[in-house]
Amino acid sequence: MGSKEEIKEIVREVVLEYLHNHLHENKGQPITILLGYQSPNPASVLEAVTPILTAYKVTWILSKDWLPAVNPLNGTSYLLLEEATQQQLISVVEHSSVLVVPAASYRLLSKLALTIDDELAVWLTVQFQMLGKPIIIASNDVAPNVYQQIHAPQSVQDRLQLYIRQIQADQVKWVPLKKLAATVDDQFKAYREKQSLILAKHVEKASQEGLKQIIVPARSKVTPSAMDLAKDLKLEIKKKDS
């Protein structure tokens, strides 16, 4: 084999190894899929989440209406929304990096925009939000179609757009089903690379709550004033891989 062929072979092997690692780098990373609302097209919803199932370790949280559709899927771990306790859901939030809602409703949209968490599905979504974890919601079942845009009162359409703009301002990704899997990948990567800023007020709040330690993502930046205050209050700031 000549030198050019050897170089080509080396390059090919490097590229293949990179692609293999890139395609599998998220394998086993925990995310949550919430199916708490019915959809007129459940088959399309499950088709859209199938690539996610192969790329991540998925925990399903679903209503009983979705159980017949999800049961045939291999290797699924799920909690029934009607039977789950808040402690179980908190554990899911703590161990998941991303929340995916592939079937939404007007109820979810409006309550999330107004931070009204009087039902478990919205409460769960708000918990992800309050920890700064990515949330991706599929817009298909809620975004008005062309006939609804023609016939629905403009005031209703304006109100929906107001709610959509609000959740987007709150960094919730609002995307069509066809972009769901790609958006999950993008948001997961952004979350892993996120740099939180730890301020003195955070240390003070932790001390007021009686904490002796704050666990923050490894890439977090701690301001000098926060470090000084933590030292004075004998409070440890511990960095840990998110």
What would the pLDDT profile of 65-107 be if each residue is shown by its tens digit?
Answer: 998 887 656 556 789 999 999 899 999 999 999 999 999 999 9
Its domain, for residue 213, covers: 197-240
Which one-letter DSSP state was computed for residue 139?
-
State whether 97 and 201 are in the same domain. no
178: left (phi over 0), alpha (psi -120 to 50) or beta: alpha
Inside any domain, residue 4: no
Residue-wise pLDDT tens digits, 195-225: 788 899 999 999 999 999 988 878 888 999 9
- Residue 56 sits in a domain of what CATH number? 3.40.50.1950
Statement to judge: residues 183 and 225 lie in one domain: no
State the Cα angle at 150 between 145 and 152, rounded to 5°: 85
| Distance separating alpha carbons of residues 129 and 139, to the nearest angstrom | 18
**pTM attached to this predicted model:** 0.80
Q: Which residue blocks in the chain are alpha helix, DSSP H?
A: 3-24, 42-55, 67-70, 86-95, 106-114, 120-130, 146-151, 154-169, 180-192, 200-208, 224-232
Q: What is the pLDDT of residues 12-59, one digit of tens each?
A: 554 445 444 544 455 678 999 999 999 999 999 999 999 998 899 999
Bridge partner residues of 222 (DSSP)? 198
